[in-house]
Amino acid sequence: MKRRITLTLLMMLVLLPALAAQASGSARSGKQAVTTNLPTSVVSVSVAPPTFSEGIFPCTNCHAEMKPDLKRRELQDEHTAIVLRHAAGQFWCLDCHHPENRDRLRRTTGEGLPFTESYRLCGQCHGKKLRDWEIGSHGRHSGHWNGAKEYLLCTHCHDPHDPPFKALTPMPPPARPGRTGH
């Protein structure tokens, strides 16, 4: 037990100065610093900004004067290309998008979130995936083990309206060394 505590303290002494430098670096880069929930220390990483379809954000450009219609329905005028297949049709747009402030997302508690923290919204249902993302075993991460890191958001790889990966066309097998052509 004593050895485990000593190792944890040692890890914190080694990691904290690097994390402090990393946090100040991410503030200069314009990326958002994110605090994850690792059990032995607090780790801060930057998160790449979310991707949006051209001309669709900020949502208040169109929704500022609209009264929210909370009725679940098929959209007729706008966003008709979005087919919601997340959780077999159990969700409605305003379960995740904030009804009063369309430039934010909404947690089940009603708390508004910026799109740059969409992982907190996804993590409400996908807790194991969020944990794996936080420790670096799910999702794409870049950077150094002891320096600056950048994590991609869930939506960089998954369509939030239809999250399963689409089928990929396989690449041809590699050519054997020393052979040309077929």
Cα separation, 5 vs 182, in Å, equals 60
How many angstroms separate the CA atoms of 97 and 115, rounded?
10
Q: Is the pLDDT of residue 136 over 70?
A: yes
Task: Quote the pLDDT of residue 23.
Answer: 40
Cα angle 170-176-180, degrees, rounded to a multiple of 5: 100
Enumerate the domain spans of the chain: 20-67+82-157
What is the amino acid identity at position 78?
Answer: E
3-state helix, strand, coil in the chain (%, to 5): 30, 10, 55
CA atoms within 13 A on the CB side of 45: 26
Q: What number of CA atoms fall less than 13 Å from residue 35's CA on the CB side?
A: 5
State residue 58's pLDDT score. Answer: 87
> Average of pLDDT values for 122-141?
91
| Contacting residues for 171 by C-beta, under 8 A, at least 6 apart | none
- pLDDT tens profile 39-80: 334 345 678 878 777 777 888 888 888 888 888 888 888 888
Q: How confident is the model at residue 16 (pLDDT cuts 50, 70, 90)?
A: very low
Which carries the bigger pLDDT value, residue 120 or residue 135? 120
pLDDT higher than 80, residue 103: yes
- Length of the chain (residues): 182
Burial label, 153 (beta-carbon count in 10 A; 0-12, 13-18, 19+): buried
The proportion of the chain whose per-residue pLDDT surpasses 70, expressed as a percent, equals 73
pLDDT confidence bin for 180, thresholds 50/70/90: low
- Confidence band of 32 (pLDDT split at 50, 70, 90): low
Cα separation, 22 vs 80, whole angstroms: 42
- For residue 143, give the 3-state DSSP assignment: strand
pTM exceeds cut of 0.75: no
- 6 versus 145: the higher-pLDDT residue is 145
Give the pLDDT band (50/70/90) at residue 119.
Answer: very high
State residue 121's pLDDT score.
Answer: 94
Q: Phi/psi at 35 (nearest 5 deg)?
A: -95, 125
